[in-house]
Structure 1
Amino acid sequence: MRAGGLEAALSPACGGALRWLALDGVDLLRHAPEGSADPLDMASFPLVPYANRIADGRFHFDGQDYHLPRNFGDHPHSIHGHGWQSGWAVTDQSPDSALLTLVHSADARWPWAFTAQQQVTLAPDAIIMTLALTNQADGDAPVGLGFHPYFCADPATRLQFAAQSLWLSTPDMLPERSVPADTLGDWSRLALVQGDSLIDNVYGGWDGMATVERGDGLRLMLTASGADWLHVYRPPGADFFCLEPVSHMPDALNRADGMAILPPGATLSLSMRIEIDKSDQALPKSARIA
């Protein structure tokens, strides 16, 4: 897809993933290796029908106990739903947009039928992605949504966002206790992203905005709606990090905050926009927008 100098590629069969996003050849997100079919190599993938982890894949809902299969190697918890591990169909497309659809029948991976749609649209200075899920089951169903974009990080890359709280995690990466948002670093002002420790934590009370400023001068603004939580994944020493707008905290089905409950036929949606700062001072020469 193209809009002006902005280009993107999708892999519908590979979890409905975004392969790459570039402005005049400058990668804005991590670029998937040529030929890779692994969603974890992609620039971004959708999280549906829930985000992050469900402890041991077990939860209780509407008087019944459920046990989802593990879907991430030997990891002890079910993670990110199964949309990222499913093939999506292209149901509409144009030079600057595409609509991907996933139709799910109730099975062991998720006991409620649903239809999910992912709309991806390019503008000359932004990518807009909207994820919507409609409950096709006969009864109420829990629903969670999110996006999992991988941002490039060099030693000078800085990050800024505002949140009210941070959840520290157990060794197996489940939320354990809520602490002040600056406990793992003060992101309320631009601060260096790279570090020698793992951050794999969710921030609550997020205001829906984040700024990424790279060493090459490129500045990206992420905004989201339908996402009160921001999950940050920063592996130590890596050249990427993830900012995941999500509709609920990890293991929400086993927590008081819970997930959205949709009656039959109802729809939940979440959108994410990644916009490029168009000022000359914020763009490398190779990526100036005319």
Structure 2
Amino acid sequence: MQESRTGRQVTLRRGAQRAVIVELGAALRSYAVGERAVIAGFGEQALITGGRGQILVPWPNRIGDGRYSWHGEALQLPLNEPTAGNAIHGLLRWVAWRVVEATDSRAVLEVTLWPQPGYPFHLAVRAAYVLGESGLEVAVTARNLDVRAAPYGFGQHPYVTAGTAVVDEAMLTVPARTWLRTDERGLPVATEPVAGTAYDLRAPKVVGDLRLDTPFGDLDRDADGRAVVRLAHPSGESGTDVWLGEGADYVQLYTGDTLPSDERRRAVAIEPMTCPPDAFRSGTGLISLGPGERHTVRWGITPWGAAHGVTILPE
């Protein structure tokens, strides 16, 4: 049997729900209810493209020039988005995480982030995935093992579907009062109100030809403290919610316009983030994780409605 190119596959099941977590990067490879794909994932033997399902630590999104200063020390990260001159999506996407717990409905993976050029800090990171009655819940905790404070941010990159062939047909709701205008490198240049713009998605709106690779902030939250981004089928009878718990103060939306042609605009990446792009340079939303301190972010996916004859979850 051919060994998986994404490492150990941990399959979670609960009722009609099924999710697969992989050893490589502790990424969420797939999530489905019955025959309905809730996310657009990747194959067991595939090279992960577009950041699908990956955990983005110790920073999400981009750092311009990969260059930042921390407590007076100038630091330089590798530029792994060379065409734009950015360091992108952290340092743990392409390393093997340890599976420390695996049950029918729960998986926990851990990894050590060792001090290295550009990020000379020592962290332990733990990712817990749980399938519950209301969908998939994810909790990612970082603990600083170092003797000094470390800059820290988190993001994760699921590509969400709503049962449409392309995202143009889907309805999108984003409870954000501001959006971040970015330059050609994907770096923020201004924070602007969504009111009166194409980025005002506080009420459901057909995606249409809207092209998004856009950060949003000032999120409105429900009584449980969650900000809920919804991608719904145009019928209004089914869809997928991504909820952002406390600490996930920003969300990046990406309609996949720059992906390979066979993957383009098939799903919307809905990325919970603790900070906006370029936070290591701007300081906006950046977490200073002191020695011994922990930081946990919780987010999750709730499919709802019915599809393929399977009743999924209540709205």
TM-score when scaled to structure 2? Answer: 0.84
Counterpart of 2:205 in structure 1 is 191
2:277 to 250, 254, 262: 250
Distance of 1:4 and 1:181 partners within structure 2: 39
1:234 to 248, 255, 275: 255
The answer as to 2:154 corresponding to 1:145 is: yes
Letter of the 2:203 partner, please give it: R
Q: Quote the offset at 1:35 in angstroms.
A: 1.6
User: How is 1:69-218 mapped onto 2 (pairs within 5 angstroms)?
Assistant: 69-108=78-117, 110-152=119-161, 154=166, 155-182=168-195, 183-195=197-209, 198-207=211-220, 208-215=227-234, 217-218=237-238
Distance of 1:151 and 1:4 partners within structure 2: 20
Change (3 A) 1:150 1:80: same
The answer as to 2:38 corresponding to 1:28 is: yes
Counterpart of 2:310 in structure 1 is 287
Letter of the 2:169 partner, please give it: A
Partner deviation per Cα, 1:205-249 (whole Å, 9 max, x = no partner): 113211121247322222111111111112346111111110001
Residue 179 of structure 1: SS of its match in structure 2? strand
1:2 to 7, 13, 34: 13
Distance of 1:23 and 1:104 partners within structure 2: 34
Counterpart of 1:48 in structure 2 is 57
Q: Which moved more, 1:221-230 or 1:30-39?
A: 30-39
Q: Quote the offset at 1:257 in angstroms.
A: 2.0
Distance of 1:25 and 1:170 partners within structure 2: 40
Letter of the 2:253 partner, please give it: V
Distance of 2:21 and 2:111 partners within structure 1: 15
Partner deviation per Cα, 1:89-144 (whole Å, 9 max, x = no partner): 10111011100101111012521010000000112440001111001111011110
Counterpart of 2:260 in structure 1 is none
Distance of 2:174 and 2:51 partners within structure 1: 25
TM-score when scaled to structure 1? Answer: 0.91
CA contact (8 A) 1:18 1:45 kept: yes
Change (3 A) 1:118 1:190: same
CA contact (8 A) 2:180 2:189 kept: yes
Change (3 A) 1:29 1:228: same
CA contact (8 A) 2:213 2:252 kept: yes
Distance of 1:78 and 1:41 partners within structure 2: 14
CA contact (8 A) 1:145 1:269 kept: no
Number of residue pairs matched by the alignment:
283
The answer as to 2:243 corresponding to 1:223 is: yes
CA contact (8 A) 1:4 1:123 kept: no
CA contact (8 A) 1:147 1:272 kept: no
RMSD: 1.9
Change (3 A) 1:289 1:175: closer
Distance of 1:34 and 1:193 partners within structure 2: 30
Gapped regions of structure 1 (runs ≥ 5): none
Change (3 A) 1:72 1:11: farther
CA contact (8 A) 2:256 2:269 kept: no
Distance of 1:260 and 1:38 partners within structure 2: 28
Residue 249 of structure 1: SS of its match in structure 2? coil
Of all paired residues, the percent bearing the same amino acid is 23
Residue 115 of structure 2: SS of its match in structure 1? coil
Partner deviation per Cα, 1:135-192 (whole Å, 9 max, x = no partner): 1111011110111110125342111121121111111111011222243332111112
